[in-house]
Structure 1
Amino acid sequence: MSTVTAPAPTQAKPVAKAHLSFPHLLRSEWIKFWTVRSTAWSLSIFFVVTVALIVLISLALKNAGVGDGPPGPVEDRVLGPYTVAAQLGQIALVVLAALAITGEYSTGMIRSSLTAAPRRTPVIWAKFLVLGGVFFVVALAANLLGAVLQQAFFSDDLKLDLGDPQIQRALFGTVLYTTTIALLSFALGALVRHSAAAIAIVLGALLVLPLLFQIPWKPLQEIQPFLPGVAGSNITQTDAQVEAGWDSFPPGVAHLTAWEGYAVLLAYLAVVLVGALVRIKKSDA
């Protein structure tokens, strides 16, 4: 009677440790961003509000006879609809940017992301790049459409010279300002990890602090030009508008140019973002 010899057990080969590359993280964050229902709603609200405000404020300026006067000041005032649209429309992006990171902390989904990327900081960078790219494109599209509609319906009264480098820089600066403010909201959300706190801090800095710092007390007045909203919004104006705004500050207060003001806003973003990166690296989710 023959015996059947069982094959010797083979030693299992060690499984190679999975490596999630940064492009994979980007793709993951892109998918997560667009699968949340609030994304489409918030971006749509921002787009519609921005375009509508540009058109409606242009109509109001036309009815007010803003075109009757010297050509220089008229060009500057015609940019007003874009500034107002950016200041109001950005609220939708501020909320969406904060929720993009705080929502994962509230649901616990962030733990899955950090498990897949143990180094942690690439998760923040991937979200940062996805949000920044989407916000920039949507803001650019909204302002371009607003400019097209403004010139189509109000070009006889509101002459906006799109060939003027100052006008081009101001319009492009409006897109930069809107995107940077939204990214600041994201960075604050990553730092404080609480939706209401992040949104309240950003909106408070943009809407409330400029009013408080108008109190006639010299230390407050000297700080006012360096507030994120005040400094950053310089990039949305022509040099003539920025210099005209200097008259609203008391003597001796620092005067920031358009790019200097935007650099101040970038500094706020950098400080908050570094704080968020340090916290996610050092503390548990």
Structure 2
Amino acid sequence: MSFPAVLRSEWTKIRTVASTGWTLGTALAVTVAMGAALCAAVNATFEDMPAAQQAAFDSTQMSFAGMMLGQLAVLVFGAMVVGSEYGSGMIRTSLAAVPRRGSLLLGKVVVATALALAVGLATAFLSFFTGQALLGDHGIGLGEENVLRAVVGAGLYMALLALFSIGVSMMLRNSAASICILIAFVLIVPIVLGVIDATRKIAYYLPSQSGSAIMQTMSDGDAPYGPWGGFGIMVLWALAAVLGGYLVLKRRDA
């Protein structure tokens, strides 16, 4: 099967499985809705905030306050792209149609990551414009310093999360196990490590902490890297996961 045919096949799989579509739709909806709600609440209580907190207020970051739940949905999406095939046994049919396992994995990665990027960018821009409108006089424009990079970066971050999730799911070959491990590693472990002084520096190098740095318009003085440095670390995590998935796919039977 030619690679364009592989891409068409993977696109058909993704759009015909209801769970994958719902997870991306949920990522968009909950991220925008939660960000909008918190922006509206902040606007109503801004004058009651301490002066130091007002001075350090990052209106762009506030627009992405719903990203925690959005991340969860994207992780589930990436896990389901691979796990649904293993769960149903369709992976055997896929491998029979595409014996070159690298081509099969690359097709999944290209289609799923492109879809996650499109939804991620839509989510980021909708969250930003909705949030800034609700912040009123405390909002900021897209043309302000670092803002466009942060908004586009939010979309890129969601795409990399999906890519990382696909790689992990390919290694584990089980949706439920992949989702549990991804949630723990991406969302819970960084929080636990971050509250302990001895392990806080480790948390900076985990996927969520490093990747989300690109969404910040104000520098984090404690972070050992800038926005693009953190993004580069996230890229390495995603590539390592996909490489691991490829090695498992190549060496193990379906």
Q: Of the candidates 43, 48, 52, which is equivalent to residue 24 of structure 2?
A: 43
Are 1:283 and 2:249 matched, yes or no? Answer: no
Tell me which residue corresponds to 2:203. 224
**Amino acid across the alignment from 1:226:** Y
Q: Of the candidates 200, 209, 216, which is equivalent to residue 237 of structure 1?
A: 216
Tell me which residue corresponds to 1:6. none
Distance in 1 between residues matched to 2:11 and 2:115, nearest whole Å: 10
> Deviating runs (4+, > 4 A) in structure 1?
66-70
Q: How far did residue 148 of structure 1 move? A: 2.7
Q: How far did residue 264 of structure 1 move? A: 1.1
Which piece of structure 1 moves more, 139-148 or 265-274? 139-148
Distance in 2 between residues matched to 1:152 and 1:107, nearest whole Å: 45
- Shift in alpha-carbon separation, 1:82–1:128, aligned structure 2, 3 A: farther
What do the CA deviations read for 1:204-254 (whole angstroms, capped 9, x no partner)? Answer: 112221233236463x2332221221111111102x2323xx1xxxxxxx6
SS of the residue 2:183 aligns to? helix
After superposition, where does 1:186-197 map in structure 2 within 5 Å? Answer: 186-197=166-177
Larger Cα-atom Rg: 1
Are 1:81 and 2:50 matched, yes or no? Answer: no
- Shift in alpha-carbon separation, 1:67–1:265, aligned structure 2, 3 A: farther
Cα contact 1:242–1:258 (8 A) shared by 2? no
Unaligned ranges ≥5, structure 1? 1-19, 247-253
Equivalenced residue count is 253
Distance in 2 between residues matched to 1:151 and 1:210, nearest whole Å: 28
What do the CA deviations read for 1:76-100 (whole angstroms, capped 9, x no partner)? Answer: 5212333322221121121121011
Tell me which residue corresponds to 2:236. 267
Distance in 2 between residues matched to 1:77 and 1:90, nearest whole Å: 20
**Amino acid across the alignment from 2:225:** L
After superposition, where does 1:11-90 map in structure 2 within 5 Å? Answer: 20-65=1-46, 73=55, 77-90=58-71
Q: How far did residue 123 of structure 1 move? A: 0.8
Sequence identity percentage: 32
What do the CA deviations read for 1:147-178 (whole angstroms, capped 9, x no partner)? Answer: 332344433x2221211240111111111112
After superposition, where does 1:111-260 map in structure 2 within 5 Å? Answer: 111-155=92-136, 157-214=137-194, 216=196, 218=198, 220-238=199-217, 240-243=218-221, 246=222, 255-260=224-229
Cα root mean square deviation, aligned: 2.2
Which piece of structure 1 moves more, 82-91 or 30-39? 82-91
Cα contact 1:53–1:81 (8 A) shared by 2? no
Cα contact 1:66–1:158 (8 A) shared by 2? no
SS of the residue 2:237 aligns to? helix
Structure whose residues are more often helix by fraction: 2
Distance in 2 between residues matched to 1:167 and 1:38, nearest whole Å: 33
Distance in 1 between residues matched to 2:144 and 2:64, nearest whole Å: 18
What do the CA deviations read for 1:10-36 (whole angstroms, capped 9, x no partner)? Answer: xxxxxxxxxx10000000000110001
